[in-house]
Structure 1
Amino acid sequence: MQSPPAAPDGQVADAVKGNWVDTMAPVWSRPYLRLSRADRPIGTWLLLLPCWLGLALAMIHDQRAGFEDLWIAVGCALGAWLMRGAGCTWNDITDRDFDNSVERTRSRPIPSGQVTVRGAVVWMCAQSLLAFCILLTFNMTAIALGVLALLPVAVYPFAKRFTWWPQVFLGLAFNWGALLAWAAHSGTLHAPAVLLYLAGIAWTLFYDTIYAHQDTEDDALIGVKSTARLFGDKTATWLRRFLVATVGLMGLAVVFSALPQANVLAMVLALAGPWAMGWHMAWQLRQLDIEDSAKLLRLFRANRDTGMIPLLFFAAALLA
């Protein structure tokens, strides 16, 4: 099949309008930055926020914070940007034929001819190596977890070929930072970190099902599976279940983190985080229209705020 023409100046169809890549980045770098989704920052936020939530809960659990935690937060931010870029590059390499058949994705750099597969592989390796250098500044437990994270990242692009639940594999990959950041602070893992990880997976099922509804018609034509296609008209019911699971599991993570040492005010503030997060997810449910692609994309992007809400409450609990 002949590749369709790229959008004007190579812009990707679902990129944020007026983003810095399309307006400020050197022209030669734009196809590679688009390949990394630098023109669509929401994915970096969704990869980073579990890291910061894990770090904040680990500090609540240990009742200590130091300058090394500042570096963990910064290192996670840099690593999230790089690994989100590497992961998206890998996704686009493996999905290049599918992307050419989907209206929303055919303007991406590989199917539109802006970047060759060989160039994409080199770019993916460069981003991964830089992220690995950052990972090496953490303790051995975090390093081991960071290396292990490559497994769900590698598998995810293929999941939609063999399961109706590829969003689970995305959740496994995108929320790994909750475990890694907890270990980077504590040197080991505790039960609250695992509960937070599971809460993140439920949250990913919530927001990525919303996102996947943009492509249900094209996905059906090319045989790609997703929870959006699986749930269909029952999507709102399933999203409520994911909302409850997210809030409940995160609430348990807070209880087991704060119960040993935190004071009553810190406990209340920390528990208010998942409670407020749940209300933001409920607002998304009230706005949901699975036939309105523009609204679906707006709701998906709103999940940056969804994740920021508990983080702010956790920060307040640390200061209480």
Structure 2
Amino acid sequence: MIGIRLVSPLRNIRSLANPLRHVRFNTTVVKQLKDPFTPEQRESARLARLANLGWLRHLPEKWIPYAELLRLEKPVGTSLLLVPSFWAITMASYSIAAPLTTFLYATSLFSVGALVMRGAGCIINDMLDKDLDNKVLRTVERPIASGRVSRNQAFTFLASQMFIGLGVLLSLPFECFYLGALSLPFISLYPLFKRFTYYPQVMISICFSWGCLLGFPAVGAPLDLSIAGPLFFSNFCWSMIYDSIYAHQDKEFDKTAGVKSTALVWKDNTKKIVNSIFVVQALSFFTAGFMANMGLGFYSFGAYGFYRLFNRIKQTDLDNPASCWFFFTDNVKTGLYFWAGMLVDYLMLLFI
């Protein structure tokens, strides 16, 4: 009897151990089930990231994730942030016949500022969106989401970018400093908007239009809201157009990830709504030019730019991510056509 009693607890211990092993196994299975991607999809995302590094692959390996945080391998975002600044700088320079040196100094500083501040915005976005980026295939390989950069490391890097941005602002007239500071809440709030509203594009469009205000004091021109206001609103509409179409790339993943966007709320009506916004954009753009007494170059290149944009909207397949991405990146060329007309008028004013 004693032997039986001694063996019995051992059997009970073994019987208790087996369920514990099953619990550990089942927890692992649950974690795997929560992963929205197959191992093949994750490997495909990793290979796609490596293939798209471009010139970044020549950097020291430790630097690459930080360069990716700034989206240096994807300059289209920086370009779309910079182009409206060039519009404002050029129209302001035209309005006061600013010397070419003043124009070149402002465009140089804004080029550095756009690179730094767009990068800072991306870092803030990635820090807040780590758990969302893990659920969207296009973003799962971002440095913070993939664990290649920690949140603490990203915060330190963000501080360095903000310091450089502050240096750029202090190199411009003081009015640019406080106008630039007013944009920071909008930059910070964008990631929150896509969690709680279907219109994060509104917030990012405000951020991408801010240069339309900064460009005027940058060259010593007064901030004339009869010009800067319509120019700002025109770029706001343009940004709403290209970012709404851009959002259609991720709409299937966004539904499951809980990310909100105009693509999800507008759905099949996106083209109709975007075309309506297009009309408002064109009217606002030409109103700004009229108020600034711009010349033939502005209207000629502007008309071609809108013709080009209209055709691109028409040709884009909203259910094809590659088509949406092409539309988004092609907007840089459209924005440069708008700028070319302003630049022609400004240079003719100086030299003819």
TM-score, normalised to structure 1, is 0.92
Q: Given residue 296 of structure 1, which amino acid in structure 2 is its aligned partner?
A: C
Indicate conservation of the 8 Å contact 2:198/2:261, yes or no. yes
Q: Does 1:188 align with 2:222?
A: yes
Q: CA deviation at 1:292?
A: 0.6
Partner of 1:169: 203
Partner of 2:67: 33
2:256 aligned to which of 209, 216, 221: 221
d(CA) in 1 for partners of 2:92, 2:214:
11
Within 5 A, what are the aligned runs for 1:121-270?
121-190=155-224, 191-258=226-293, 267-270=295-298
Partner of 1:52: 86
Partner of 2:28: none
Residues 29, 146 of structure 1: alpha-carbon distance in 2 compared, 3 angstrom cutoff: same
66-75 vs 194-203, which moves further: 66-75
SS in structure 2 opposite 1:27?
coil
Residues 89, 129 of structure 1: alpha-carbon distance in 2 compared, 3 angstrom cutoff: same
Q: CA deviation at 1:162?
A: 2.1
Higher relative helix content: 2
Report the identity percentage.
Answer: 31
Partner of 2:315: 287
Indicate conservation of the 8 Å contact 1:10/1:114, yes or no. no
Indicate conservation of the 8 Å contact 2:94/2:345, yes or no. yes
Q: Given residue 209 of structure 1, which amino acid in structure 2 is its aligned partner?
A: S
d(CA) in 2 for partners of 1:234, 1:110:
34
User: 1:76-106 deviations in whole A, cap 9, x for unaligned?
Assistant: 0001001111100000001110000111111
Residues 65, 238 of structure 1: alpha-carbon distance in 2 compared, 3 angstrom cutoff: farther
Residues 297, 223 of structure 1: alpha-carbon distance in 2 compared, 3 angstrom cutoff: same
Partner of 1:64: 98
Indicate conservation of the 8 Å contact 1:10/1:31, yes or no. no
Highest Rg: 1 or 2?
Answer: 2
Q: CA deviation at 1:8?
A: 7.9
d(CA) in 2 for partners of 1:233, 1:8:
29
1:309 aligned to which of 315, 322, 337: 337
SS in structure 2 opposite 1:91?
helix
Partner of 1:263: none
Q: CA deviation at 1:237?
A: 0.7
1:278 aligned to which of 306, 314, 323: 306
TM-score, normalised to structure 2, is 0.84
d(CA) in 1 for partners of 2:315, 2:309:
10
Partner of 1:83: 117
Q: Which runs of no fewer than 5 residues in structure 1 stay unpaired?
A: 259-265
d(CA) in 2 for partners of 1:12, 1:181:
37
Residues 7, 61 of structure 1: alpha-carbon distance in 2 compared, 3 angstrom cutoff: farther
Q: CA deviation at 1:10?
A: 5.8
Q: Given residue 304 of structure 2, which amino acid in structure 1 is its aligned partner?
A: A
d(CA) in 2 for partners of 1:9, 1:213:
18
Partner of 2:143: 109
d(CA) in 1 for partners of 2:47, 2:97:
47
Q: Which runs of no fewer than 5 residues in structure 2 stay unpaired?
A: 1-30
Name the Cα RMSD after superposition: 2.0
